[in-house]
Amino acid sequence: MSRLRAFLDASPVAAVALSLMREATGRAEPLAPIMPARPAALRRGERVGFWSLCGGVGSSTVAALVAHRSAAGGEAPLLADLDRWAPSLALRAGLSAATIADALLQPGRERELVSRWSAVAFLPGAPSLNHGFDALRLVAVIDACAAGRAAVLDLGAGADALDPALLASLGRLCLVTGTRAGQLQAAFCAVPLLRTAPCAVGLVVVGAEGDDAARIADRIGVPLLAAIPTDPYLADDSFAARAPTLRAVDTLLRALA
Ligand SMILES: Nc1ncnc2c1ncn2[C@@H]1O[C@H](COP(=O)(O)OP(=O)(O)OP(=O)(O)O)[C@@H](O)[C@H]1O
Ligand SMILES: [Mg+2]
């Protein structure tokens, strides 16, 4: 496909198509590809966490999109919901299955308890995780379930989700923010909490285009990984996304590579 595309791009057909497009749309720049290119995949063994100080910014959604897109680009990662107050990914997946709390109770059987959400290996969360939270045991469960694959962790929201042992197991922590005043305020307030994080930290802005997201990252002082646009399908709570959203997730995956 890419060889055919390269051939067509180099042929006079491309120049004719471009001038027809300019005439019809008045736009000088080439149209973005309608079909997203093959996504990048997380490296084997890579571990990425998604977190926000305040809830409702789109953190779980971005974590799930990253896991699914990465699965489409290579080996499917493990997606684990570690939100110990309001785990929501199983609801999003339409799944009722064994949870990470079950895996903690059955040492040696963790891998049998992993479910599938399409191609992604998925470990749903449990509110009971909140009682006697033991980060080292959680990391051991995730190690066992990931079995060398990449892992995407939804850490939930709030300061107490930033457990040092959990953070130490990550290659990257993605601070996720929305663009509403309260959400941006929370992102600013999150920065001091992340200063001593033992892993690299990057920013994902949901509901913004690239330029605005770059300005937000600049002001917050955390490197921008990606800007995820507002997506009417995601806003409607269906787990489907438009092509520009998938391209933004691909940008995020490349930034995480
Ligand atoms: N890119 C987007 N465009 C539009 N709506 C979105 C987008 N991403 C997420 N949403 C919607 O925003 C809401 C919150 O998303 P999500 O549950 O991922 O946030 P969260 O930060 O994990 O929140 P919580 O604190 O509940 O864990 C959901 O209804 C979701 O469908
Ligand atoms: Mg969430």
For residue 80, pLDDT beyond 70: yes
Please report which ligand is nearest the Cα atom of 180.
Answer: 1
User: How many Cβ atoms from other residues are within 10 Å of residue 82's Cβ?
Assistant: 27
236 lines ligand 1 (CB under 6 A): no
81 lines ligand 1 (CB under 6 A): no
By alpha-carbon position, which residue is closest to atom 19 of ligand 1?
58
Domain locations in the chain?
A: 1-31, 39-256
Binned at pLDDT 50, 70 and 90, residue 245 comes out as very high
> Six-digit token pair at 87?
């785990």
> Six-digit token pair at 23?
């005439």
Tell me what pLDDT residue 30 has.
Answer: 61
57 lines ligand 1 (CB under 6 A): yes
The arithmetic mean of pLDDT across residues 176-191, rounded, is 98
CATH architecture, domain 39-256: 3-Layer(aba) Sandwich (3.40)
* H-assigned helices in 112-180: 135-146, 164-168
Q: Among 54, 133, 43, which Cα is nearest to 125's?
A: 133
Tell me what pLDDT residue 33 has.
Answer: 53
Tell me what pLDDT residue 17 has.
Answer: 77
Tell me what pLDDT residue 237 has.
Answer: 86
Tens digits of per-residue pLDDT, 31-73? 555 554 678 999 999 999 999 999 999 999 999 999 999 999 9
Beta bridge partners of 122: 79, 115
100, 138 Cβ separation under 8 angstroms: yes
89, 155 Cβ separation under 8 angstroms: no
For tokens 């933004």, the residue is 248
The arithmetic mean of pLDDT across residues 172-191, rounded, is 98
Alpha-carbon span 152 to 67, nearest angstrom? 6
For residue 129, pLDDT beyond 80: yes
Give every CB contact of residue 129 below 8 A, 6+ residues apart in sequence: 82, 84, 87, 100, 101, 104, 138
Q: Which of 17-21, 128-132, 198-202 has the highest mean pLDDT?
A: 198-202
Tell me what pLDDT residue 15 has.
Answer: 77
Tell me what pLDDT residue 29 has.
Answer: 64
Mutate to test the pocket of ligand 1, among 60, 69, 205 (most ligand atoms within 8 A of CB): 60
